[in-house]
Structure 1
Amino acid sequence: MKISVLTGGGDAPGLNAYLKAITFKAIDSGYEVYGFLDGWKGVLENKYIKLDKDLVYREYFHGGTLLGSSRTNPAKNEETINKAINNFKATGFDVLIAIGGEDTMGASSKMYKAGIPVIGLPKTIDYDLYGTDFTVGFHTAVDIVRDSIEKLITTAKSHHRVLVVEVMGRHAGWIALYGGLAGGANYIIIPEFPLDLNDLLRVIRDRYNRGDTYAIVVVAEGVELGNVNKEVVDEYGHVKLGGVGEQLAKIIEKETGITTRSINLGHLQRGGPANSIDRIYPLKLGYHAIELVKNKEFGKMLALKGNEIIKIDLSEVEGKIKTVDSNLYQFAKSFFY
């Protein structure tokens, strides 16, 4: 049997752990493993390499993905769908394991319906993939945000400034919420709930009035403040975000008179080696993906519910987003101080 795998969408720490698990288990099961280069783009351009234990072991310790990635959408139109199907059939591969987030899983669901035997594995630092309690990259991204906040606190205190830290999160504020809470941020703003500017300014003023002459405000990139450029989109129709932190910093400084600066952590959140969680769980999920291959259980995505590995239909994931609910955000607001 010939197994193929791809990594789609934005890269994330821990992707190479998936590739290690898939390759080791597949080879031990007597299968061959191939990797499409740069996500679905590799399928459309018929570009792939053979994977072996030596290669995936060497890359296991590094961040990113040895296969490369892209935001190419194979289900963009009928032409790309047919091209992907024809190219895949021509390879002689028996299955495609697609590793990715909401867009990659949505495209995988469509391609499965179109005739490609697909199995999905969860990956997104945004943690907004429906149906799973784990997505590779999220926990490492939270660690990076926490570490950045702890470093920024020292300079904010030294210069008596407000620092606005912009983090990733298009539709969901999981990174902002967890990273902000872990790092001791004084205020967190996420896309799920409208900004209460008066409350934000109150918290900042209260801090300065009692002698705590600095503040760290964390904001997810998807928060809308108005006047954001919404013209540039990717192949999935998503606006290319960025800049909300800078806008918010200007508003805070204007309203309070306090020197305010913004920092966009950007791709730092995707970079570097994975932490332990983002290594262990993809090893487990990648290993179990080969069991689905053996049983020809296609059209499924493996997920975690608690510590239990489950399988759900790709169609259940398609078009859905996991967001922060009001109870969790109210809990977080208890620590805005």
Structure 2
Amino acid sequence: MRIGVLTGGGDCPGLNAVIRAVAKSLIHHGHCEVVGILDGFEGLMGDAPRTRPLGWGDVSGILHIGGTILGTSNSANPLKDDATLAQVGRNVRALGLDGVVAIGGDGTMSIAHGLRAVGLNAVGVPKTIDNDIAHCERSFGFDTAVATATDALRRIESTAYSHHRVMIVETMGRHAGWLALESGIASAADVILLPEIDYGLEAVIARCRAREQRQRYTIVCIGEGAKERGGSLTVRERVEYSPDPVRLGGVGHVLRERLQPHLKSEVRATVLGHVQRGGDPTPFDRVLATRFGHHAARLVIEGRFGRMVTLQGGRIGSVAIADVANTQRTVPPDHELLAMARDIGVCLGE
């Protein structure tokens, strides 16, 4: 078989570990030829496909390296019109692909599902620092992002207590609060605000005022998709034709402006941004990404296309890509981490 591999959506620690595991498993166990598709689905959308070979030596020594050797795009959408879709079909046939391993988030899975229309068989590998892919309890890249955000929060705390400030730290995560929740708990944040729970400004003010009287500083961790009760999302920009056209960001600065008139302490906001996507993956993510890549290769070899690799109950398995497309996994209201946070005195803005 001749199998393509691509990485779609935002970059993420662990992508190269997946590419390595997929290619080596397909070459060694499946006796396949492996082709890397450059810059995600964008590599299939032009007048001619853009690819590179993925032989054994091409994927050696990349396990620990962040980013993706194939490049990626979070704005390429081959489903945007019939002409583009038809061109993708021609490129797939020109490459002689028997299938493709698509590594990405819910947007990538939605596109992979839609490309069945031009005969592209796909196996999906879930990738996101947001940890928001349906039917998958832990995606690679998330552990690294939590570690990065936690380190940033701890460093900001030293400034907070030195200057007696309220320090707001905004994490990524889009409409899911997993990253803010876990990094907030890991860094002992005093206030954690999530997209799943609209916060009351008065509750946040009350917590900050109480800490002004005691510790004299407050750490607030807020997910980019959080919003005040009765308010709206903070949109940074809109990108035409992107599978995810609405880009969030800046809610930390909005909260700072709302809080400052009510507090004696100076309020500062820091948006962590893309630093959360970068850097080498943690050992946990390297192992998880390798497990995902290996299982994806096994699905290809067995001819089980239309499936996405998952982790459920600590075990690697798979689900239909159709069940993942256009869905998200958010923090449920009865999740144990929320109950624990409340019990140890963390303010969730309620």
Do they superpose with TM above 0.5? yes
Q: TM-score, normalised by structure 1?
A: 0.96
**Is 1:177 paired with 2:181?**
yes
- Is contact 1:121-1:286 (8 Å) kept? yes
Task: Tell me whether 77-86 or 311-320 shows the greater mean CA deviation.
Answer: 77-86
Instruction: Give the C-alpha shift of residue 228 in structure 1.
Output: 3.6
Instruction: Give the C-alpha shift of residue 134 in structure 1.
Output: 2.0
**Is 1:304 paired with 2:311?**
yes
CA RMSD of aligned residues (A): 1.5
Provide the rounded CA distance (Å) in 2 between the counterparts of 1:78 and 1:135. 32
Q: Please point out which of 156, 172, 176 is paired with 1:152.
A: 156
Q: TM-score, normalised by structure 2?
A: 0.92
**Is 1:62 paired with 2:68?**
no
Distance 1:307 1:262, change over 3 A: same
Q: How many residues align?
A: 336
- State the identity %: 37
Instruction: Give the C-alpha shift of residue 184 in structure 1.
Output: 0.7
- Is contact 2:6-2:37 (8 Å) kept? yes
Provide the rounded CA distance (Å) in 2 between the counterparts of 1:113 and 1:330. 45
Secondary structure in 1 matching 2:316 = strand
- 5+ residue gaps, structure 2: none
- Which residues in structure 2 correspond to 1:60-139 (within 5 Å)? 60-71=63-74, 72-139=76-143
Task: Tell me whether 76-85 or 86-95 shows the greater mean CA deviation.
Answer: 76-85
Secondary structure in 1 matching 2:246 = coil
Instruction: Give the C-alpha shift of residue 58 in structure 1.
Output: 2.4
Task: Tell me whether 227-236 or 88-97 shows the greater mean CA deviation.
Answer: 227-236
Provide the rounded CA distance (Å) in 1 between the counterparts of 2:134 and 2:120. 22
Provide the residue aligned with 2:43 in structure 1.
42
Secondary structure in 2 matching 1:96 = strand
Deviant stretches of 4+, over 4 Å: none
Distance 1:228 1:302, change over 3 A: closer
Amino acid at match of 2:8: G
Deviations 1:251-300 (A, max 9, x none): 11111132010000000100000001111011112112121111111111
Amino acid at match of 1:201: I
Provide the rounded CA distance (Å) in 1 between the counterparts of 2:130 and 2:233. 24
Distance 1:280 1:107, change over 3 A: same
- Is contact 2:226-2:233 (8 Å) kept? no
Provide the residue aligned with 2:7 in structure 1.
7
- Is contact 1:122-1:134 (8 Å) kept? no
Task: Tell me whether 263-272 or 57-66 shows the greater mean CA deviation.
Answer: 57-66
Deviations 1:5-31 (A, max 9, x none): 000000000000001101111111321
Provide the residue aligned with 1:17 in structure 2.
17
Task: Tell me whether 178-187 or 69-78 shows the greater mean CA deviation.
Answer: 69-78
Q: Please point out which of 336, 341, 344 is paired with 1:332.
A: 341
Provide the rounded CA distance (Å) in 2 between the counterparts of 1:184 and 1:4. 44
**Is 1:295 paired with 2:302?**
yes
Provide the residue aligned with 2:239 in structure 1.
233
- Is contact 1:127-1:174 (8 Å) kept? yes
- Which residues in structure 2 correspond to 1:198-209 (within 5 Å)? 198-209=202-213
Distance 1:227 1:108, change over 3 A: closer
